[in-house]
A and B are shown apart, each in its own frame.
Chain A
Amino acid sequence: MRDSRRFVIQAIFIVVGAVYLIRLFYLQVIDDNYKARADDNAIRRVVVHPHRGQIHDRNGKLIVINEAVYDISVIPKKASIADTLEFCRVMAVSRQYFDSVMTQAAKYSKVKPSSFLKQISVADFGRIQDRLIDYPGFFYTTRIVRHYPHPTLANALGYIAEVSPKKLMNQNYYQQGDYVGINGLESFYEKQLRGQRGVRYVMVNVNGVEKGAFRGGKFDTTAVTGESLVSSIDLDLQLFADSLMQHKIGSIVAIEPATGEILAMVSAPSYDPNLLVGRTFGKNYTTLQKDPNLPMYNRPIQAVYRPGSIFKVIQSLVGLQEGVITPESQFGCVQVPMKCHEHPHGHNDLHNAVQWSCNPYFYNVYRRIIYAQPTGNNWRDAQVGLMAWHNHVKTFGFGTKLDVDIPNGQRGYVPDTAIYNRFYGKSRWQFSNFYSVSIGEGELNVVPIQMANLAATIANKGHYYTPHLVKSVSHGQPLPQYLQRHQTSIDSSYFKYIIDGMADAVRRGTVWSKARIDNIVICGKTGTSQNKKGEKDHSVFVAFAPKDNPKIALAVYVENAGFGGFAAAPIATLVIEKYLKKKIVRRNLANFMIQRDYMPKSKAEAEKRRDDSAAAIRKPLLKIKPLQPAKPRISPAKPIIVSNKTLPKNN
């Protein structure tokens, strides 16, 4: 009997052992729950943010760089400071700041790091770094922020900011707190610039203190630095163009005609892009948004104007293509129905008309285009002619948004039969209802970059490449869409007549004599974009140079500066000189233009100008759907439609 008890005891041992092994098998092999919870406990996924790609200009100069800033953190438990006053002096903080931050830190955690001082510049950090070793518990981490060595191109570059809650939805790449490009190149090339995030798995202890790489970093992925972009911008030219646009509101867009590369792009007034970096972002952003001169409004692609006289060159080309005029066609400058200005009109052929921007001439050209196939029914003929003309004009890139590599551009407007059908009723309109279009007024809307593109198209004698700011993404090529050649519907042989006229317009025509340069044959066309009554018109000039084998084509807009030949033209020729000669011989002219001030003289006037442009748009002349563009982000940029009842005075 006693022996059997021995087996009872041994059986108890074995049963308990077996029960425990079964329980262990359940815990360890069958139930997966604990594995996940262990990882939750001890493994922290740390995202490694790659450095964002930098942006160079076409000559390799840096436009956008990454700069390290330093954050100093403290682990309260390890912190030991012998002389607090001395420490505050080294860190350049007040005693109150020190006390409050240290109290906060200790309250948050004794063993986890808290931020002590944020975004110390390299220069300031140099002073602190040597002394930091004397203060255990304090350590630094580096962060990368954007830095702009030159305060230029702010609107074209855009900026980076924390990803918005709205953008966080319906995507799975970004996480809260990530920085993302907003506007400009930063936004358009976000995928290339942002690089590839890395992930580090670190082990943490029960207090959340990091304890090294999980499994020696076996599962980690390294961050891949974003691609650097080579911009087509010529930084020297850009800075010079910036300086010319001081004290002015307007735009300069300069393009290399052979490639469509944008050489300079000025939106004036602008702001220092460094304002939208780091700690002061929020404050500066608000200030900029409140500025009535709208510094965050990217005028080259967003500001909508009427093209004015510059459009006469298109009317000429369409007329030649349609065969309704020849270069020898003459129309008298008869001041009816349009007035003209003083110019020699003895032999008023196409060349002369372009050179002197003769209004009645182009009235007649446009009339012939619209009534190209006369059947006696003006109402029907106007419809046919208008659509033929509309289709030609569209091939120049007007009326559609140019696919520039910065977002939020405007598309402008080229009238078609639909708009007049709705406006006047179907087939109840003819040429007399919209003849002001002949000289670039009326329902025509353009943005400056479309006009620069027009200059490039003429320089190329009939084709263009979509203007773009980045000539090389990682592999030395621009995006494929910028290698696509766009052909206009105009035969290239017709362009020479226009070009000759434009050359003479600069040599001895509508352009202010002081704007001319020796040694460079510039082809240009002045324009004056009509403005609200009582305010000076916008001065516009498009040009390319040299006449043979053109290297630069550009459009200059100076708001409220009056006649195109006086304000915009000298600025344009200075930009051309700078680009082609690499230096400015006409220093006096340059200084004169730099100092010319076309800004509103008061805040009230600035607001009035801003509101007037908005009011002009708000005029309920046309409530037609296609004319309602996307809501502007910063300032109104709706097409300007004026009644063609007003008689345009034009040049």
Chain B
Amino acid sequence: MLQGQPHPGQELSTGRIDWITVALYAACVVAGWFNIFAAVYDPELQQSIFDFSINSGKQLIWIGSALVLIVLIMVVDFKFFEAFAYILYIIVLVALIGVMLLARDVNGAKAWFEIGSIRIQPSEFAKFITALTLAKYLSDTEIRFDDTKTQLICAAIITVPALLILKQNDTGSAMVFIAFILVLYREGLTPWILILGVAGAVILVLALVVPQLYLFIAIAAIAGLVFLNLRRKTLKSISWVVGVALMVAVAVFGVDFFMNKVLQAHQRNRILVLIDPTIDQKQVGWQVLQSKIAIGSGGFAGKGFLNGTQTKFDFVPEQSTDFIFCTIGEEHGWLGGVVVIVMMIGLIYRLVQLAERQRDRFSRVYGYSVACILFVHIAINLGMTIGLVPVIGIPLPFFSYGGSSLWSFTILLWIFIKLDSHRGEVLRRI
């Protein structure tokens, strides 16, 4: 490798671009394009994949414009992103507020600026700009992550745009900001956050599946067993056991409160339908069921390209955008699923490797942000199509149809590819 050997004056340092990442990106985009075609193909009309009246033709335009973006990113000075991070952050916050005031209501969300026929979604840009801002903030050599102040500022950087997006009723995009918890964990955040998160999820599922009374009996029983097995029954240890048990019990009540008071009816249904797929057959239940039918009918090797019946005939909703994985599952079976999942997990795994080889904290934090944002998208999107995660409308990176999402993921990824290719030119600041 070329670590530590700066090549000043070389603008497009293609020699050090990580071609594995680029290849995975290209493979995902092309595979996505074919599957978008398969999703909207109508065997009666026998359209061409280049037909601009259908999504596959339009996606070609988005792919072309994404290539332009890539070139732009590659020609811009790599220091630009660090230098302008705060300014971009302010701009995007203003845009997020502005869109709430100015935008029209589309499907219950006020998330788009409409300029002529082009629709711009500030929340898509908020993801990489927040990543840049967080990276820049943490790259300050003066900063110590252990400080509460630092942690609060980090939390603010992340939650302000997230809350603004949540206010736009775009829950899916807001949830993506959870990704930054993993990034902060890498930078020194206490692992308790992760443990609490997992514990919370377990309690949530248990509280929904098991009747409350049994749960309380179980909590009391476990607390009793732990108490009996305590080596030294000090006041401290006893109060720990009692305290944890009470917290869990409160959390169980909290689930009830959360489900019934915090969530809106349709959100509640999206969670409940995972536990009992037979409920809400007409709305959310139907979506999840149809998605599972489409994927499940693919079998081991799939029905073959363009031979699917579930997605292209509209049984699955949003078949070329959020539910694009159904087409893959139906037409290419489990093998196709393996290829896609291995490709995507491989990409983010590779991104972590790349992030770790950065010489400055800015690039590393940004790299982790990219990997984790993509991870959250992949986990939620695939999870919802196979009935493991509530239906949350976020796209599958590089695969889903749509200009905004393709652009946003391309920018997100390629800024890091650009940074990575210049990693030798920065002073070690870690």
Contact = CB atoms under 8 A, between A and B. Distances in A.
Contact of B299 (A16, A28, A33, A43): A28
B296 A33 contact: yes
B302 to A, nearest CB: 9
Interface in B167-206: 182, 185-186, 188
Interface stretch (A80-88, A156-164, A207-215, A282-290): A207-215
Contact of A20 (B44, B314, B356, B386): B386
B383 A20 contact: yes
Contacts of A12: 182, 375
Interface stretch (B18-26, B68-76, B331-339, B410-418): B331-339
Contacts of B383: 20
A9 interface: yes
A3 B349 CA distance: 14
Nearest to A204: B313
Contacts of A204: 313
Interface string A23-34: 111011101011
B358 interface: no
Contact of B309 (A2, A10, A31, A41): A41
A9 B296 contact: no
A34 B297 contact: yes
A44 to B, nearest CB: 11
Contacts, number: 125
Contacts of A43: 309
Interface stretch (B87-95, B100-108, B246-254, B340-348): B340-348
A17 interface: yes
Contacts of A207: 314
A24 B329 contact: yes
B307 A215 contact: yes
B337 A28 contact: yes
Contacts of B352: 6, 9-10, 13
A27 B296 contact: yes
Given A13-B348, A43-B309, A204-B313, A24 B186 contact: no
A34 B309 contact: no
Contacts of A205: 313-315
Contacts of B294: 38
B310 interface: yes
A24 B313 contact: no
Interface residues of A, number: 41
B298 interface: yes
A215 B306 CA distance: 10
B66 interface: no
B83 interface: no
Contacts of B43: 203, 211-213
Interface in A211-260: 211-215
Kindly name the residue among A5, A9, A16, A39 whose own CB sees the greatest number of chain B CB atoms within 10 A. A9
Nearest to B188: A2
A10 B186 contact: no
B28 to A, nearest CB: 15
Contacts of A27: 292, 295-296, 329, 386
A35 B292 CA distance: 10
A14 interface: yes
A6 B349 CA distance: 10
A42 interface: yes
A43 B43 CA distance: 14
A206 B188 CA distance: 51
A631 interface: no
A28 B349 contact: no
A170 B425 CA distance: 85
A209 to B, nearest CB: 9
B272 interface: no
A31 to B, nearest CB: 6
B336 to A, nearest CB: 10
Contacts of A33: 296
Interface string B187-230: 01000000000000000000000000000000000000000000
A35 B296 contact: yes
Nearest to B388: A23
Interface size class, chain B: 35 or more
Given A6-B352, A14-B349, A34-B292, A28 B315 contact: no
A31 B296 contact: yes
A166 interface: no
Contacts of B182: 9, 12
B61 interface: no
B314 A24 contact: no
A13 B334 contact: no
A21 B299 contact: no
A10 to B, nearest CB: 5
Given A5-B185, A9-B182, A21-B341, A29 B299 contact: yes
A144 B357 CA distance: 77
A211 B388 CA distance: 32
A501 to B, nearest CB: 78
A37 interface: yes
A447 B51 CA distance: 75
Interface string A173-213: 00000000000000000000000000000011111000111
Nearest to A33: B296
A24 B334 contact: yes
Nearest to B290: A41
Contacts of A16: 345, 375, 378-379
A2 B352 CA distance: 13
A213 to B, nearest CB: 8
Contacts of B165: none
Interface in A454-480: none
Contact of A17 (B44, B290, B342): B342
Interface string B141-178: 00000000000000000000000000000000000000
A204 B315 CA distance: 10
Contacts of A214: 309
Contact of A35 (B297, B329, B368): B297
Given A6-B356, A35-B297, A14 B345 contact: yes
B300 interface: yes
Interface string B9-52: 00000000000000000000000000000000011100000000
Given A28-B299, A34-B292, A13 B375 contact: yes
Nearest to B183: A9
Nearest to A40: B293
A28 B300 contact: yes
B132 interface: no
B382 interface: yes
A435 B375 CA distance: 108
A266 B100 CA distance: 89
B300 A37 contact: no
B188 A29 contact: no
A284 to B, nearest CB: 42
A38 B309 contact: yes
A27 B313 CA distance: 21
A41 B349 contact: no
Nearest to A28: B334
Nearest to B186: A5
A214 B312 CA distance: 13
Given A20-B341, A21-B337, A203-B43, A41 B293 contact: yes
A28 B295 contact: yes
Contacts of B345: 13-14, 16-17
Nearest to B335: A28
B293 A38 contact: yes
A435 B272 CA distance: 93
B426 to A, nearest CB: 19
Interface in B358-398: 368, 371-372, 375, 378-379, 382-383, 386, 388
Interface of A: 2-3, 5-6, 8-10, 12-14, 16-17, 19-21, 23-25, 27-29, 31, 33-35, 37-39, 41-43, 203-207, 211-215
Given A34-B295, A38-B293, A211-B42, 4 more contacts: A5-B185, A14-B345, A28-B298, A34-B297
Across the A-B interface, the 3 shortest Cβ-Cβ residue pairs: A34-B296, A38-B297, A42-B309
7 contacts: A8-B185, A13-B375, A20-B337, A23-B388, A27-B292, A43-B309, A207-B314
